């Protein structure tokens, strides 16, 4: 079997060119500071206090660069520790940071299982790594031991249903390519995949695309020697086992059974999320945030009028214009499509979202009294927050 370290030395993943940093910033979930603040700190973190973060298994640096660049652009202090087994991946991540002039990052080659040795962290990013460990629970436990009081974890692990067809191919390739080097494995696997029958579960799965993007993506998807997926119930179980609890998935609407069908009154939250995942059938990765087990930490809510709302992935003017005309708002994700319908009178408050003004200031600007604003804003908040389009963060008071 090709070891995980050998794979990522040969094919660092995801494939990135540091020269591209001059042209774009790759953003996503988790580990965007606005999203972190919203879900982990009630949208009211004091960003004048330095954020101490660990990027555990940082690969070629997508999460690392996003976190460091957004904090740098906001002018807030931070210290980030990066750890990864692959020297080749680390070199790419370092070059990307250097290209942006991001200097508050310390790089280490090592295992996330040693996370507690690097200190205690306010925030830990671990994306696409835990499911590749021989014992994933040991990884979850190591990260829990490295968390400072009040901190939280942003994670991504694979999910089974949206990856249909992947695991039979991985198992077959592992058996027939035993003893071969990574380059030969890749060449032979590509030949086989090219000629898969039209009805093969992998060939008919439109949710997967890494194998088309790059050699690194193909290898990571279909030739990884150590890979498992977590359904919702399995994820909740390993979190509980290792002293974590789920705070939220990054896009809660995907797991909201009531948005798909009538939810039985007696059904608990965990069972409902598991049913929604199965009915969706398209969720490839579980992306979310976790906090220490037993903590009752509330995410941001608009009932706190001091919070600053931010739109994500949509412009306030364009959204307000569509709402004012009574147009449906399309939401297109890799997992599904949805249509939102917001009341026309919400256009004025949506237009006031600029990432700097608080809800109280937006209400005043729209000349709405607290009661009228609250009733209107509640309709806006539910859909936009749950679909990942609206976040609250005090980061908007900076810069």
Q: What whole-number distance in Å separates Cα of residue 342 and Cα of residue 327?
A: 9
- Is 126 domain-assigned? yes
Q: How far is CA 186 from the centre of its chain?
A: 28
Tell whether 94 and 236 lie within a shared domain: yes
Confidence check: pLDDT of 59 > 50: yes
> What are residue 152's DSSP bridge partners?
123
Looking at residue 399, its pLDDT comes to 38
Tell whether 127 and 261 lie within a shared domain: yes
By the 10 Å C-beta count (0-12 exposed, 13-18 middle, 19+ buried), 261 is classed as exposed
Looking at residue 1, its pLDDT comes to 78
Tell whether 288 and 313 lie within a shared domain: no
Confidence check: pLDDT of 67 > 50: yes
Q: What whole-number distance in Å separates Cα of residue 170 and Cα of residue 189?
A: 10
Confidence check: pLDDT of 398 > 60: no
**Joined tokens for residue 294:** 């037993």
Tell whether 36 and 132 lie within a shared domain: yes
Tell whether 390 and 270 lie within a shared domain: no
**Bond from prior residue into 75 cis (ω within 30 degrees of 0):** no
pTM of the model: 0.96
Tell whether 100 and 247 lie within a shared domain: yes
Q: What is the pLDDT of residues 19-51, one digit of tens each?
A: 999 999 999 999 999 999 999 999 999 999 999
**Joined tokens for residue 298:** 């509330």
Note down the domain range covering 117.
4-161+227-292
Query: Quick one: DSSP state of residue 66?
Result: H
Q: What is the pLDDT of residues 301-354, one digit of tens each?
A: 999 999 999 999 999 999 999 999 999 999 999 999 999 999 999 999 999 999
Q: What is the pLDDT of residues 346-394, one digit of tens each?
A: 999 999 999 999 999 999 999 999 999 999 999 999 999 999 999 999 9
Number of domains composing the chain:
2
Tell whether 33 and 125 lie within a shared domain: yes
Sign of CA pseudo-dihedral 300, 303, 304, 306: positive
Asked whether the beta carbons of 74 and 45 are under 8 A apart, the reply is no
Tell whether 382 and 250 lie within a shared domain: no
Tell whether 235 and 116 lie within a shared domain: yes
Tell whether 15 and 148 lie within a shared domain: yes
Asked whether the beta carbons of 38 and 248 are under 8 A apart, the reply is no
- Is 204 domain-assigned? no
Give the number of residues written for the chain.
399
Tell whether 349 and 282 lie within a shared domain: no
Tell whether 111 and 27 lie within a shared domain: yes
Percentage of the chain with pLDDT > 70? 99
∠ Cα 67 314 154 (to 5°):
30
Asked whether the beta carbons of 274 and 233 are under 8 A apart, the reply is yes
Q: What is the Rg, in whole angstroms, of the alpha carbon atoms belonging to the chain?
A: 22
Confidence of residue 397 (pLDDT cuts 50, 70, 90): low
């Amino acid at each position: 079997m090709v070891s995980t370290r050998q794979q990522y030395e040969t094919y660092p993943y995801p494939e990135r060119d540091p020269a591209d940093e001059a042209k774009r910033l790759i953003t996503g979930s988790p580990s965007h500071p606005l999203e972190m603040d919203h879900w982990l700190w009630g949208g009211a973190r004091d960003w004048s206090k330095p954020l101490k973060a660990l990027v555990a298994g940082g690969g070629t640096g997508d999460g690392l660069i996003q976190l460091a660049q957004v904090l740098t652009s906001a002018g807030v202090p931070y210290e980030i520790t990066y750890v990864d087994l692959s020297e080749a991946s680390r070199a790419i991540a370092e070059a990307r940071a250097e290209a942006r002039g991001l200097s508050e990052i310390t790089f280490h080659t090592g295992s996330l299982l040693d996370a507690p040795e690097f200190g205690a962290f306010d925030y830990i990013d671990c994306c696409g790594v835990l499911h590749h460990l021989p014992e994933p629970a040991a990884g979850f436990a190591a990260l829990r031991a490295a968390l400072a009081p009040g901190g939280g974890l942003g994670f991504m692990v694979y999910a089974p249903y949206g990856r249909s067809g992947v695991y039979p191919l991985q198992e077959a390739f592992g058996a027939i390519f035993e003893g071969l080097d990574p380059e030969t494995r890749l060449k032979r696997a590509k030949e086989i995949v090219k000629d898969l029958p039209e009805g093969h579960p992998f060939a008919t799965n439109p949710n997967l695309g890494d194998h088309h993007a790059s050699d690194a993506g193909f290898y990571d998807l279909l030739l990884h020697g150590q890979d498992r997926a977590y359904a919702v119930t399995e994820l909740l179980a390993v979190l509980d086992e290792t002293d974590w609890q789920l705070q939220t998935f990054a896009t809660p609407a995907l797991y909201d059974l009531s948005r798909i069908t009538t939810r039985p009154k007696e059904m608990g939250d965990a069972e409902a999320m598991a049913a929604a995942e199965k009915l969706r059938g398209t969720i490839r990765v579980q992306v979310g945030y976790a906090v220490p087990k037993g903590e009752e930490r509330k995410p941001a809510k608009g009932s706190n009028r001091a919070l600053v709302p931010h739109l994500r992935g949509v412009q306030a003017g364009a959204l307000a214009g569509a709402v004012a005309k009574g147009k449906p708002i399309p939401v297109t994700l890799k997992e599904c499509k949805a249509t939102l319908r917001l009341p026309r009178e919400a256009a004025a408050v949506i237009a006031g979202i600029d990432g700097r003004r608080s809800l109280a200031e937006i209400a005043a600007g729209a000349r709405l009294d607290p009661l009228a604003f609250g009733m209107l804003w509640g309709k806006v908040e539910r859909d936009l927050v749950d679909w990942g389009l609206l976040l609250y963060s005090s980061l908007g008071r900076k810069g």
